[in-house]
Amino acid sequence: EPEVTQTPSHQVTQMGQEVILRCVPISNHLYFYWYRQILGQKVEFLVSFYNNEISEKSEIFDDQFSVERPDGSNFTLKIRSTKLEDSAMYFCASSPRTGYKDTQYFGPGTRLTVL
Amino acid sequence: KQEVTQIPAALSVPEGENLVLNCSFTDSAIYNLQWFRQDPGKGLTSLLLIQSSQREQTSGRLNASLDKSSGRSTLYIAASQPGDSATYLCAVLIQGAQKLVFGQGTRLTINP
């Protein structure tokens, strides 16, 4: 069964450094998402992406964050200058069509630790 | 603003029991509701999706119901097994948006 994959599984970085989290959505899906989960807290929506542009973003998704689909398979989340509070599990998800009828399929996550 | 709450926060039961997990949401303007399973340090596995027009969905030993007007959903697990131990999350897809809003989860422990 097709799966969403994410790399790396764990990323450790120093405060102020740039990180890029990578995702490979399911191949025929058109909608892509990033969520994050700070330890012990709820899963929070960051951004949705369709047709090579952001379709919705949360208040968390400020100018330090960006997303890109650099080729036909990868979907990336970049954090330009990491802060301690960016430490979290970051989940990528995809869905085949607009999500209202379709399950969002989640990847295994990337644990980001900012020191 | 949509808020999703799950009760209880944690539940520990002996193997073989039937159990119910609860989810409530404040705004009934939703497209669908999903139940997920999360194992420690792992990703989210979708268990069931209920469209806003549906009342329930079943998959194996799992049955989820939805009462949109009262803002409630339940996940019923029959004949629980130790392998069911995990955190169960519910999430609603709000109308006019593509984002899921999650509850904080119920941590379930099934004791052999």
pLDDT (tens digit, 9 = 90+) per residue, A18-30?
999 999 999 989 9
Interchain proximity A104–B34, CB inside 8 Å = yes
Interchain proximity B104–A41, CB inside 8 Å = yes
Structure confidence at residue A63 as a pLDDT band (50, 70, 90): very high
Which residues of B fall within a CB distance of 8 Å from A60?
Answer: none
Strand-strand pairing, A110-114 and A10-13: parallel
Interchain proximity A48–B98, CB inside 8 Å = yes
Q: Contacts by B41-49 with C-beta closer than 8 Å and gap 24+?
A: B41/A111, B42/A108, B42/A109, B43/A91, B43/A106, B43/A107, B43/A108, B43/A109, B44/A43, B44/A91, B44/A106, B44/B89, B45/A106, B46/A103, B46/A104, B46/A105, B46/A106, B47/B75, B47/B88, B48/B75, B49/A103
Q: How far is A80 from chain B, CA to nearest CA, in Å? A: 23
pLDDT at A10: 96
The pLDDT of residue A101 is above 70: no
pLDDT at A21: 97
Enumerate chain A positions whose Cβ falls within 8 A of a Cβ in B.
31, 33, 35, 41-45, 48, 50, 55-56, 58, 91, 98-101, 103-109, 111
pLDDT at A99: 55
Which residues of A fall within a CB distance of 8 Å from B41?
Answer: 111
Beta bridge partners of B66: B73
